[in-house]
Structure 1
Amino acid sequence: MSLPAPKRTPQQPQHDDHEGEFTFRPATKGHSHARVALQGVSGSGKTWTGLALTRGLADGGRFAVIDTERGSASKYVGINGVQFDTLQMHRYDPRDLVKALAAAEKAGYGALMIDSLSHFWKGLDGTLQQVDKAKSRYGGNSFAGWKEGTPMQNDMIDALLAYPGHIVATMRSHTEWVLQENDRGRREPVAMGTRAEQRKGVEYEFDIVGAMDVDNRLTVLKSRCPALHRRVIETPDGGAIAKELLAWLQDAAPAAA
């Protein structure tokens, strides 16, 4: 579903004690944190890869999972020593994710995984349902519905980007079945992921966007980290990827555009 362009109220210029002075300084990463999205079809391995990646980004510290997948992440507890805290969510109002992020910040988690972000778009009480509820109050007017739904979605993404730690978000992919030739020369149906089940354009908000397929292959679709640019990784090691990301973030060189 396409969204109308959000209406923004013009902001008055903010003035400080140095009115009229604008100073440019050398760009640095500062204390940047990773924003990673992993999308894929069911069975592609995005939850396990995301857990290993989040654990690596935590770098020995505590990390947590906001779980919308009915405890699927918790089934990996203990494998290769993975331990984490979890918050189970069963309703997916985007305003509740804002509250969950605030709770994670208060608890001091240096890395956080959201498994999955797709539910806050099209799950129970997600953005799409919030729009439908608003539409019903305005006689089925779609624009009136999005007038309420768009700010909720935007506030959720803003809270995710503002989190003072690393974020790894999984997203379900729209699944299409295509016929491919197998190693026996026979054509068989294979699940192929297309775009992520989230608001169109959400990939722009992340530093790294990777797509995973049913063969557990990770294809990097977008990367601000040069070491991961256009990489195709067979059976990805989330911990190894985390090390590359941490090295990039800790480097004093300017960030890639």
Structure 2
Amino acid sequence: MFKKAERKQAKLRLALAGPSGSGKTFSALLMAKGLGGRIAVIDTEQGSASLYSDIADFDVLELQAPFAPERYVDAITAAEVAGYNVLIIDSYSHEWTGPGGCLEANETLAHQKFRGNTWAAWNETTPRHRQLTNKILTSSLHVICTMRSKTETVQGEGKKIVKLGMKSEQRDGTDYEFTVVLDLTHDSHTALASKDRTKLFDQPELISEETGRRLLAWLNSGVSPEARAKELLVDAIADIARAPDMAALESAYNAGRVIVQGFDSLKPALVTAKDKRKHELTPQEQTA
């Protein structure tokens, strides 16, 4: 059944792409600080994130090769279990192009199992990569992923040499998975949105803590899951009150239980409505 679309509260899914030296890690930490709460960093860059420990309090997991997607999944799960609020994956590119990443793993698999046919090997490699993508999308944390961009050097105004970040070092189409994708410039470290569902980045911006605070306000401005559950509970209680017999009452109550799952404060109202209707129906059932 179709229903009116409404934006719900959400967790951040943001990618920061740029060439080496564009400030991806620094910008990610400032943004995470603005989002608030405990910060965790998965560092695949030989401890480079720890160089910025003076600008934000965070805990780090230094992930070494092989950069298999399953190891990223395990690290994200560990951050969730530990109760962090924001997770920075620095860098997401290693899962694709790094030692033991998907490209290298697929090449090895092709020679071991598919007689060098890399196309056939992707039938096994793609689901592994997809598992990580799904983990990022469904995580209970705000997730910021940094991605390396292939660098092209061009001559700008006044014959100045400028480094430009081109295609990100990740699977084609990765940008579609994120709510926001920001491309960082090498010289000015400013961010320009190549994808922005928030509509907050219509101009180039130097990322700061305020950037994180603005994003958090946008993420929290949607309808909360509990508020939506309260709305649905009104209808569920009405269905319980109209139940013509015990079987219908049981069905209506079970439907209501699904709505209030995870919201303990809403459960008493549902139980009260069920007990009230059960009491009203009992004499009818006995008479019948």
Same fold (TM over 0.5): yes
Runs (4+) of structure 1 exceeding 4 A deviation are none
The separation in 1 between residues aligned to 2:143 and 2:3, in whole angstroms, is 27
Question: Does the aligned pair in 2 maintain the 1:131–1:146 contact within 8 Å?
Answer: yes
Q: Name 1:87's counterpart in structure 2.
A: 61
The separation in 2 between residues aligned to 1:253 and 1:173, in whole angstroms, is 36
2:95 to 115, 120, 140: 120
Aligned residues: 221
Q: Name 1:169's counterpart in structure 2.
A: 145
Task: Give percent identity, aligned residues only.
Answer: 39
The separation in 1 between residues aligned to 2:62 and 2:165, in whole angstroms, is 26
Q: Name 1:18's counterpart in structure 2.
A: none
Q: Name 1:180's counterpart in structure 2.
A: 156
Question: Does the aligned pair in 1 maintain the 2:38–2:85 contact within 8 Å?
Answer: yes
C-alpha deviation, 1:247, in angstroms: 1.2
Q: Name 1:246's counterpart in structure 2.
A: 216
1:236 to 201, 204, 207: 207
C-alpha deviation, 1:190, in angstroms: 2.1
C-alpha deviation, 1:27, in angstroms: 3.4
Question: For residue 127 of structure 2, what is the amino acid of its counterpart?
Answer: P
The separation in 2 between residues aligned to 1:124 and 1:105, in whole angstroms, is 26
- Post-superposition Cα deviations, 1:156-212, rounded to whole Å, max 9, x if no partner, equal 10111111010001000011111223xxx3x24322110110001100000110000
Q: Point out where structure 2 has 5 or more consecutive residues left out of the alignment.
A: 225-288
* Structure ID, larger Rg: 2
C-alpha deviation, 1:144, in angstroms: 2.0
Question: Does the aligned pair in 2 maintain the 1:65–1:84 contact within 8 Å?
Answer: yes
C-alpha deviation, 1:146, in angstroms: 0.7
**Structure 2 matches for 1:48-197, cutoff 5 A?**
48-57=26-35, 59=36, 61-79=37-55, 82-91=56-65, 92-137=67-112, 138-181=114-157, 185=158, 187-197=159-169
C-alpha deviation, 1:252, in angstroms: 3.0
C-alpha deviation, 1:224, in angstroms: 0.9
Question: Does the aligned pair in 1 maintain the 2:8–2:223 contact within 8 Å?
Answer: no
Report the 3-state secondary structure (helix = DSSP H, G, I; strand = E; otherwise coil) of the residue aligned with 1:86.
strand
Question: Does the aligned pair in 1 maintain the 2:30–2:207 contact within 8 Å?
Answer: no
- Post-superposition Cα deviations, 1:38-60, rounded to whole Å, max 9, x if no partner, equal 00011111110001111222x2x
Q: Which has the higher strand share?
A: 1
Check 1:29–1:107 CA distance in 2 against 1; reply closer, same or farther (3 A cut): farther
1:216 to 169, 189, 197: 189
Question: Does the aligned pair in 2 maintain the 1:134–1:144 contact within 8 Å?
Answer: no
Report the 3-state secondary structure (helix = DSSP H, G, I; strand = E; otherwise coil) of the residue aligned with 2:161.
strand
TM-score (norm 1): 0.82
RMSD of aligned alpha carbons? 1.6
C-alpha deviation, 1:245, in angstroms: 1.0
Report the 3-state secondary structure (helix = DSSP H, G, I; strand = E; otherwise coil) of the residue aligned with 1:226.
coil
The answer to whether 1:227 aligns with 2:203 is no
The separation in 1 between residues aligned to 2:21 and 2:120, in whole angstroms, is 38
Q: Name 2:260's counterpart in structure 1.
A: none
C-alpha deviation, 1:253, in angstroms: 6.5
Question: Does the aligned pair in 2 maintain the 1:62–1:109 contact within 8 Å?
Answer: yes
The one of the two structures with greater contact order (alpha-carbon pairs below 8 A, sep at least 6) is 1
Question: For residue 196 of structure 2, what is the amino acid of its counterpart?
Answer: S
Question: For residue 122 of structure 2, what is the amino acid of its counterpart?
Answer: W
Q: Name 1:202's counterpart in structure 2.
A: 174
The separation in 1 between residues aligned to 2:222 and 2:150, in whole angstroms, is 38
- Post-superposition Cα deviations, 1:40-97, rounded to whole Å, max 9, x if no partner, equal 011111110001111222x2x2110000011111101123xx1100000112101110
TM-score (norm 2): 0.73
